């Protein structure tokens, strides 16, 4: 029998305004709560806030720091790690972090925000579907025995670079400074991904990708360019819990912020616009409370 390292009532994915407010509300409802993610990845982190009730002016970073302190004060556990896998069985959810921590929970709140997907370099749009891909796990099979580049510094890129070593003849992992956990970084490098630190400048090819040009002027001869920015895409993982995201990568919710699967809730930017701290916090408050009630059988 599998023994889980950590067991919680409510596991919250995402450490921005929605996730932290959900953690505050859930732990105040006496649910054993964990919130996971990197607060610096939150869209709020780099923002100046002046449109949020009760706050004249503050940096997002200040609000996040206070939010983390508040969540802790009510008993929530904070884990500054990315989640890279989610699954469910027999009414329990299992989450795996990039450092290898396993968490079991009775309810999950998805508050991971909207990820930036596009790199916005020349050739990216023109060659999409002709060698440019945003989904290594979808398209790996088409690159058997061919050289590819994986662009991105976070856990998504690390997982993809490792995956592609099983298919491609050569994998360049293009990242100025790797941001993924040591565990994932080692896995990708040990599997044979070659690190490249110069930023990407342009993707070239006529009808098919033929090379990736770097800022330092060098060219990588590749047939595939996988753009995998940021953390592991939560909408992708949510599908393993039975949640069906919209084509825009958003998660539809009902008035209780249930994502359509028993025990799974979503809040914040991932449920759609407006991407405002007021909406994120408001939704997080309801989602956290509903998840806590569900987990505690209230």
Compute the least distance from the CB of residue 193 to another protein, in Å: 20
**Contacts to another protein from residues 61-80, by CB under 8 A:** none
Residue count, binding to another protein (CB under 8 A): 23
Give yes or no for a contact between 98 and 179, defined as CB atoms under 8 angstroms apart.
no
Q: Does 288 bind another protein (CB under 8 A)?
A: no
Q: Does 297 bind another protein (CB under 8 A)?
A: no
**Contacts to another protein from residues 246-265, by CB under 8 A:** 246-248
Smaller CB distance to another protein: residue 30 or 125?
A: 125
Q: Does 120 bind another protein (CB under 8 A)?
A: no
Q: Does 130 bind another protein (CB under 8 A)?
A: yes
Compute the least distance from the CB of residue 126 to another protein, in Å: 12
The CA–CA distances, whole Å, from 194 to 163, 187, 218 equal 13, 12, 15
Give yes or no for a contact between 222 and 212, defined as CB atoms under 8 angstroms apart.
yes
Q: Which of these ranges, 46-54, 80-88, 178-186, 234-242, lies near another protein under the rule CB under 8 A?
A: 234-242
Residues 162 and 178: their CA atoms lie apart, in Å, by 14
Work out which of 137, 198, 210, 276 binds another protein, going by CB under 8 A. Answer: 137
Q: Does 128 bind another protein (CB under 8 A)?
A: yes
Residues 143 and 207: their CA atoms lie apart, in Å, by 16
Q: Which of these ranges, 27-35, 107-115, 233-241, 280-288, lies near another protein under the rule CB under 8 A?
A: 233-241
Q: Does 206 bind another protein (CB under 8 A)?
A: no
Smaller CB distance to another protein: residue 200 or 224?
A: 224
- Compute φ and ψ for 22, nearest 5 degrees: -60, -40
> Which residues lie below 8 Å from residue 72, measured CB to CB, with a gap of 6+?
78
Smaller CB distance to another protein: residue 9 or 139?
A: 139
Compute the least distance from the CB of residue 273 to another protein, in Å: 15
Compute the least distance from the CB of residue 59 to another protein, in Å: 35
Work out which of 129, 145, 274, 297 binds another protein, going by CB under 8 A. Answer: 129
- How far the first Cα of the chain sits from its last, in Å, is 29
Q: Does 138 bind another protein (CB under 8 A)?
A: yes
> Which residues lie below 8 Å from residue 132, measured CB to CB, with a gap of 6+?
123, 124, 203, 209, 224, 225, 227
Q: Which of these ranges, 5-13, 57-65, 102-110, 139-147, lies near another protein under the rule CB under 8 A?
A: 139-147
Q: Which of these ranges, 46-54, 237-245, 256-264, 290-298, lies near another protein under the rule CB under 8 A?
A: 237-245
Q: Which residues bind another protein (CB under 8 A)?
A: 128-131, 133-135, 137-139, 141-143, 208, 224, 236, 239-240, 244-248
């Amino acid at each position: 029998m599998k023994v889980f390292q950590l067991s919680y009532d409510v596991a919250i994915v995402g450490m921005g305004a929605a996730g932290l407010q959900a953690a505050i509300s859930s732990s105040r409802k006496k649910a054993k709560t964990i919130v996971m993610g990197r607060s610096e990845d939150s869209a709020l982190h780099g923002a100046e806030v002046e449109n949020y009730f009760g706050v004249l002016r503050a940096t997002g970073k200040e609000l996040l720091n206070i939010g983390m302190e508040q969540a802790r004060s009510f008993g929530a556990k904070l884990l500054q790690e990315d989640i890279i896998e989610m699954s469910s069985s027999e009414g329990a959810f299992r989450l795996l972090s990039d450092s290898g921590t396993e968490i079991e929970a009775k309810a999950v709140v998805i508050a991971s925000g909207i990820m930036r997907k596009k790199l916005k370099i020349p050739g990216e749009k023109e060659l999409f579907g002709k060698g440019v891909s945003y989904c290594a796990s979808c398209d790996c099979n088409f690159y058997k025995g061919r050289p590819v580049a994986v662009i991105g510094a976070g856990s998504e890129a690390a997982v993809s670079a490792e995956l592609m070593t099983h298919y491609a003849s050569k994998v360049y992992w293009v990242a100025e400074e790797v941001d993924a956990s040591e565990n994932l970084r080692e896995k990708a490098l040990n599997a044979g991904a070659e690190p490249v630190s110069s930023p990407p400048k342009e993707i070239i090819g006529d009808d098919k990708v033929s090379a990736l040009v770097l800022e330092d002027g060098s060219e990588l001869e590749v047939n595939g360019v996988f753009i995998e920015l940021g953390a592991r895409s939560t909408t992708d993982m949510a599908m393993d819990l039975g949640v069906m995201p919209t084509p825009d990568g958003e998660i539809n919710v009902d008035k209780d912020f249930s994502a359509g699967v028993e025990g799974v809730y979503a809040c914040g930017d991932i449920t759609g616009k407006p991407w405002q701290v007021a909406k994120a916090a408001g939704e997080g408050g309801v989602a956290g409370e509903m998840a806590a009630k569900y987990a505690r059988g209230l």
